[in-house]
Amino acid sequence: GGVGALSGSYVAPKAVWLPAMKAKGLEISGTFSRQAGSISMDLSLTNKALQVMSDFAIQFNRNSFGLAPAAPLQINAPLGPNQTVDISLPLNTIGSVMKMDPLNNLQVAVKNNIDVFYFSTVYPLHVLFVDDGKMERQMFLATWKDIPNENEAQFQIKDCPLGAEAVSSKLQGSHVFTIAKRNVEGQDMLYQSLKLTNGIWVLAELRIQPGNPSFTLSLKCRAPEVCPHVYQAYETILKN
Amino acid sequence: EMDDGLDEAFSRLAQARTNP
């Protein structure tokens, strides 16, 4: 992990997605990143079998946001026993769309010369936050008013010892943009927007009270099923 | 912050959200 520090967008450490015992000795760990506007699946493939592995390929099942490999999985030399290769697979979002449960679930098939293996993982929604997600202020006010309060989702972000300025700049590094900030009765109210790769806008109000490490995040979106995942992204960005 | 005439609108929103 930690690669994201260069571009600002947080990258989680790699996790094991496919254990060797389930894939005839092939172990895959990975994470997702977004750098300079491009999404990548960063993979480590380890050969824990006694034979050489070759002829690798990867395929995704249809998924909620059309994530797909933008290039073939390129592993130039056969992978010998106990060898690991690190690959960054570029992704695009122009693949086939099918709503998954959970929304950010991704089913992956990997083949090599031995067999075909399947696993599923979930991606953090912030890799889908585009860099032109700063909503025009008039549009924000109109949209906020237009989406009924019943469709507002509210979450608590606990144990976050940051002030409003630090919160704004940390979130902006991951393409969550602060449009306005107000101080009412001592508490900071941040109005923020972000846009997903498929054009869905999310509007946010983040309430920060001085001396209280627990924030209130209110989200409004015309596709409310994304809200819990956006909240999860806020947690991830703010706490790393 | 930009002076686009909307500063006041955001103030009203924040106020209304704090004291509904």
pLDDT tens column, A202-226: 999 999 998 899 999 999 999 999 9
Q: Do A205 and B17 touch (CB under 8 A)?
A: yes
This model of the complex carries an ipTM of 0.87
Q: Is A230 helix (H, G, I), strand (E, B) or coil?
A: helix
The tokens for A181 are 């900030």
Is pLDDT of A5 > 60? no
Backbone angles phi, psi at A151, to 5 degrees: -95, 10
Q: Is 80 exceeded by the pLDDT of residue A2?
A: no
Q: What is the pLDDT of residues A100-147, one digit of tens each?
A: 999 999 999 999 999 999 999 999 999 999 999 999 999 999 999 999
Residues in chain B: 20
The 10 Å CB-count burial string (b at 16+, else e) for A163-193 is ebeebbebbbbbbbbbbbbbebeebbbbbbb
- Kindly indicate the confidence band of residue A7, based on its pLDDT and cuts at 50, 70 and 90: low
8 Å CB contact between A174 and A8: yes
Rounded to whole angstroms, the Cα distance separating A81 from A49 reads 6
Closest residue to B18, CB basis, from A141, A181, A185:
A185
**Within an 8 Å CB–CB cutoff, is residue A191 touching chain B?**
yes
B12 touches chain A (CB under 8 A): no
pLDDT tens for chain B, residues 1 to 20: 455 679 999 999 999 999 87
Q: Which of A138, A181, A189 is facing B17, going by the closest CB pair? A: A189
- Residue A180, chain B, CB below 8 Å: the answer is yes
CA distance B14 to chain A (A): 7
> Do A213 and A226 contact (CB within 8 A), yes or no?
no
Q: What is the pLDDT of residue A8?
A: 58
Q: B13 to chain A: nearest residue by CA?
A: A141
Tokens linked to A157 = 């972000």
- Identify whether A102 is preceded by a cis peptide bond (ω within 30 of 0): yes
* A125 phi, psi to nearest 5 deg: -65, -25
Query: Residue range A66-85: average pLDDT?
Result: 96
